[in-house]
Chains A and B, each alone.
Chain A
């Protein structure tokens, strides 16, 4: 046992904690960590006797590499994607999609502009005029089922040669291969609460020396109970941070180190999707890819990816720049799948599972310091996502590969994992790579959406066709300021509000009721594909939260919540884990949280210190869905 006190924001600094010594400690297992560990593992397998792979903490043994993942399984609770798989194929040149469950080569791609068949969508005047033109000329333009297929799509949107995949299945496939060698241990169901910083009285060092695992045997407030087990300290000469866009370790490091000048994570989206068992008579082939825009709201982009065995991932992305506080994504998703263009194929299908995840849409604007003394950042949380192509998995994988190559180079040359050495290797590799080039050309591609939907489309087209040389400029406010306050001065809005309040009295949530009051039809549940959100939580995986962990969603100041009229956090909560108590304070139920992270960027109130009023800490559990 040992005492290790210099931790960032530790609430329990004086507890005696056990210590594990490792060479490399990894946080979060996703595509980026998959790329890192696959590359490192292969190099070791090729020459396990190479002295460079000898552990410094356990002489005579190979490198001690340990990875901790919050989810209860490598396959749990992640998402279906379409990816160009450029980096993934580079790692697996003989990759056969059939080896990975739910994976299929991309066979066809369509981009559909969806008209509003209901009339409830918040469409600007210009779009309404355009819609009317399309409807008028539908016979000539081939508008069918209220959908107009773009006759041509720019190259940057194509995923030709790519793969439709379930990231859950892909992670499982990758992790099994990594662990089989015995070099790497990947431990699921083990949240990491914070990074460990080297002791330094004047804070001049900021060296990361490992990680601390979450305490167990505590109540919801983190107070110890019977069976208390202090989270262990894992000390390592290199900490690889791949905990995603809102991971606790990445955020603590950002708070301590700050962000590079001009960088900030201000743009987000919540992706929510259904995995649907398609009807037996479906004509949709595996590898079919649809991208949609225009419905259920103009700002909401959608997708349909068809996997083998008559499975499809169908979902939407609700961005932070959808200014309406009624961002009830589950309800929007139900309207989306019922759009005639999709419903034609999905009707009579069966909901097999459901999932949600926040995406960091800041792209390179949100890139933190990639390296520091004793640590390196990879994956989505490191700003690798290409916001123009809407592509992140392959980029994340590639950043992991780049770091592994750099680590091998440093091991070979017997150099330490200092900021300078990591910058000379990993950061240099990354800056010279296609990931960087694409991220750069995409970094301002979506600025236009802060000026409106149509300027947004124009901005994307300009950036895409000029490689990012030309783009629209925009001042992007912090995510919490992108939520517009409700204006209820107009008689129409007052009437809506009154109708909604009646529905709320009847047990409905405010935002759901507001959507109904705005003209969105009620969802007619069929118990099969259209089910209540609570039922969706119980389908195809369910939500689990192991007892003995503290709540990971914290309201810093209850007073701020009481005076918040919008409570957008509740509207956006994917699992309905946030509900409204009678005092006006949201209540968090850990057992229903899917760890989508949406509450983090949908809190409209800030504390005196400038922090949003919701804190999202490391937590255990989440969705147990493997088909995501």
Chain B
């Protein structure tokens, strides 16, 4: 059954960079964020790869990538992402950075999705990341779904099996390293992806060049939105802490390394 999949994916600073929280004029921010290389949020990128796989399996399906961020950053990131899978870009130009308000972000994205020409809401699967590598309130995707009137929502998704009649089975992550299996009658639905099961696709220059036919025009006509939310007050914002303990050890047996790691994790 043909699907209409919309993937919401944010641009975040490459999580490999040294991220330093600061307090900016509009609340918490990341130091020099615009200087750092941007990437498609890795969790949302998993959603994109899974979506492309579903589109390939279901002839007649369509895939849109909706992304909100500074246009220059969007352009930069698209040069990498566009080589991997085919999609149509819907760009929303916003000077967002730091820790943008989830409600304001969701409103802008839902508006952008509503304006997609030819989008059939009865076939709509709204994809996104369950989490964010660099920041995330954990609610943006759900709010977008609510604003679009989609009540079937699944989070922490690792697998979706779409049946011929359009219904599908979803594996969601739950506590204890297990999956919860749910069945859904079909679209519309919101799926917030965990890592999924697919590897990052190879870079394919032909896909990149084909995508460019729509990516560049989409960037040029990207609607500008402001996420400034009057009265919003941030109590705190944090980054995942990093710990590193380096030791050079020669000829250590793998079992001994595993044992030491297990003990170290247990002690944390």
Interface flag for B178 (CB, 8 Å): no
Interface residues of B in 6-47 (CB under 8 A from A): 14, 16-18, 32, 34-37
Per-position binary interface string of chain B over residues 50-82, scored 1 when its CB falls under 8 Å from any chain A CB and 0 otherwise: 000000000000000000000010011001100
Of A76, A182, A186, A229, the residue contacting B202 (CB under 8 A) is A229
B116 at the interface (CB under 8 A from A): no
Interface flag for A436 (CB, 8 Å): no
State whether B37 touches A626 (Cβ < 8 A). Answer: yes
| Interface residue tally for chain A (C-beta within 8 Å) | 53
Contact A187 B202 (CB under 8 A): no
B124 at the interface (CB under 8 A from A): no
B167 in contact (CB, < 8 A): no
Q: How many chain B residues have a CB neighbour from A under 8 Å? A: 32
Given contacts A185-B212, A189-B80, contact A541 B16 (CB under 8 A): yes
- B246 A532 Cβ-Cβ under 8 A: yes
Which of A536-590 touch B at CB < 8 Å? Answer: 538-542, 544, 546-548
**Complex interface: stretch among A67-75, A194-202, A282-290, A492-500:** A67-75
> Do A190 and B203 have beta carbons less than 8 Å apart?
yes
List CB contacts (< 8 Å) of B210-268 with chain A: 212, 216, 220, 244, 246, 248-250
Shortest Cβ gap from A175 to chain B (Å): 8
CB pair B17–A624 under 8 Å, yes or no, is: yes
B-facing mask of A594-624, CB < 8 A → 1, else 0?
0000000000000000000000000000001
B244 touches A176 (CB 8 A): no
In the complex, are the beta carbons of A187 and B79 less than 8 A apart?
Answer: yes
Contact in complex: B246, A534 (CB < 8 Å): yes
- Asked if A187 meets B18 with Cβ closer than 8 Å, knowing A75-B37, A101-B32, A624-B37, the reply is no
Q: Which residue of B lies closest to A532 (CB)?
A: B246
Contacts of B199 in A (CB 8 A): 227, 547
CB distance from B52 to the nearest CB of A (A): 14
Contacts of A625 in B (CB 8 A): 17
Task: Provide the residues of chain B in CB contact with A534, threshold 8 Å.
Answer: 246, 248
Contact status of A539 and B32, CB under 8 A, knowing A190-B203, A229-B202, A548-B202: no
How far does the alpha carbon of A179 sit from the alpha carbon of B76 in the complex, in Å?
9
CB-CB under 8 A from A232, the residues of chain B are: 205-206
Judge whether A105 is part of the interface by a CB distance below 8 angstroms: no
For residue A137, CB closer than 8 A to chain B, the reply is no
CA distance A309 to B76 in the complex (A): 24
Q: Quick check: A627 and B246 within 8 Å, CB to CB? A: no
Closest residue on chain B to residue A185 by CB atoms: B212
A190 touching B37 in the complex, CB below 8 Å, given contacts A185-B212, A538-B244, A542-B16: no
Complex Cα spacing A187 to B80, Å: 7
The number of inter-chain residue pairs (CB within 8 angstroms) is 102
Query: A interface, by DSSP: helix, strand, loop or mixed?
Result: loop
User: By the criterion CB–CB under 8 Å, are B76 and A73 in contact?
Assistant: yes
Inter-subunit contact A172/B76 (CB<8 Å): yes
Bound form: Cα–Cα A180–B216 in Å: 8
Beyond A20-B205, A101-B32, A189-B83, whether A626 also contacts B246 by CB under 8 A is no
B37→A76 contact, CB < 8 A: yes
Tell me if B98 is interfacial: C-beta within 8 Å of chain A: no
CB distance from B218 to the nearest CB of A (A): 12
For A216, list chain B residues within 8 Å (CB): 202-203
Residue pair A217, B37 in contact (C-beta under 8 Å): no
Chain B residues with Cβ below 8 Å from A441 are: none
Residues of A within 8 A of B250 (CB): 506-507
Does residue B209 face the partner (Cβ distance < 8 Å to A)? yes
Chain B interface mostly helix, strand, loop or mixed?
loop
Is there an interface contact between A179 and B206, defined as CB atoms closer than 8 Å? no
B206 touches A18 (CB 8 A): yes
Interface string of A298-317 (1 = CB under 8 A from B): 00000000000100000000
- B16 touching A544, Cβ below 8 Å: yes
Q: State how many angstroms separate the Cβ of A92 from the closest Cβ of chain B.
A: 17
A535 interface residue, CB < 8 Å from B? yes
Query: Is B128 interfacial (CB 8 A cutoff)?
Result: no
- Residues of B with C-beta under 8 A to A227: 199, 202
Cβ of A169 < 8 Å from any Cβ of B? yes
> Does chain B have a CB within 8 A of A404?
no
A119-145 CB contact bits vs B (8 Å, 1 = yes)?
000000000000000000000000000
B14: chain A residues within 8 A (beta carbon): 73, 541, 624, 626
Among A506, A546, A626, point to the contact of B35 (Cβ < 8 A).
A626
Please state if A541 and B75 are interface contacts (CB–CB under 8 Å).
Answer: no
Q: How far is the CB of A579 from chain B (nearest CB, A)?
A: 11
Taking the complex as formed, is B182 at the interface, i.e. its CB lies under 8 A from any CB of chain A? Answer: no
Residues A169 and B35 in contact in the complex (CB < 8 Å), given A176-B72, A540-B17: yes
B129 at the interface (CB under 8 A from A): no
> Is B37's CB under 8 angstroms from A73's CB?
yes
Cβ–Cβ < 8 Å partners of B36 in chain A: 626
A164 to B206, CA, bound (A): 38
Cα–Cα, bound, A190→B34 (Å): 24
Instruction: Check if B17 sits within 8 Å of A626, measured CB to CB.
Output: yes
Q: What string of 1s and 0s marks CB contacts (under 8 Å) between B185-219 and chain A? A: 00000000000000110111110110010001000
Q: Specify which of A101, A172, A229 is in contact with B204 (CB 8 Å cutoff).
A: A229
Closest residue of B by beta carbon distance from A18 = B206
B37 near A535 with CB under 8 A, answer: no
User: Would you give the shortest CB distance from A587 to chain B, in whole angstroms?
Assistant: 14
In the complex, whether A371 has a CB less than 8 A from a CB of chain B is no
Q: Does A353 belong to the interface (CB within 8 Å)?
A: yes
Cβ of A372 within 8 Å of any chain B Cβ, yes or no, is no
**A213 on the B face (CB < 8 A):** yes
Min CB gap A444→B, angstroms: 40
Contact of A539 among B18, B204, B216 (CB under 8 A): B18
Contact A309 B79 (CB under 8 A): no
Q: In the complex, are the beta carbons of A535 and B17 less than 8 A apart?
A: no
Complex contact A624–B205 (CB within 8 A): no
**Is residue A102 within 8 Å, beta carbon to beta carbon, of the partner chain?**
yes
The answer to whether the Cβ of A352 comes within 8 Å of any Cβ in the partner chain is yes
The reply to whether A188 and B80 contact each other, CB–CB distance below 8 Å, is: yes
B16 A624 Cβ-Cβ under 8 A? yes
Q: Which residue of B lies closest to A508 (CB)?
A: B248
Give the one of B16, B75, B76, B212 with max A CB within 10 A: B16
CB contacts under 8 Å to B, within A39-95, are: 66, 68, 72-76
Residues of B within 8 A of A507 (CB): 248-250
Chain B contacts for A185, CB-based, 8 A: 79, 208-209, 212
The smallest beta-carbon distance between A222 and chain B, in angstroms, is 15
Question: Which residue in chain A gives the minimum CB-CB distance to B71?
Answer: A180
**With A507-B249, A624-B37 given, is the CB distance from A187 to B75 under 8 Å?**
no
Contact for A213 among B75, B205, B212, CB less than 8 A: B205
Known pairs A66-B209, A75-B35 / 9 extra A-B pairs, C-beta < 8 Å = A101-B34, A102-B35, A176-B72, A179-B79, A180-B72, A189-B80, A227-B199, A546-B200, A625-B17
19 A/B residue pairs, CB under 8 Å, sorted by A: A20-B205, A20-B206, A175-B76, A176-B72, A179-B75, A179-B79, A186-B79, A187-B205, A188-B80, A190-B83, A190-B205, A227-B202, A353-B18, A534-B248, A540-B17, A540-B18, A544-B16, A547-B199, A626-B36
A contact residues vs B (CB 8 Å cutoff): 18, 20, 66, 68, 72-76, 101-102, 169, 172, 175-176, 179-180, 182, 185-190, 213, 216-217, 227, 229, 232, 234, 309, 352-353, 506-508, 532, 534-535, 538-542, 544, 546-548, 624-627
Closest 4 CB pairs of A and B: A73-B37, A507-B250, A542-B16, A101-B35
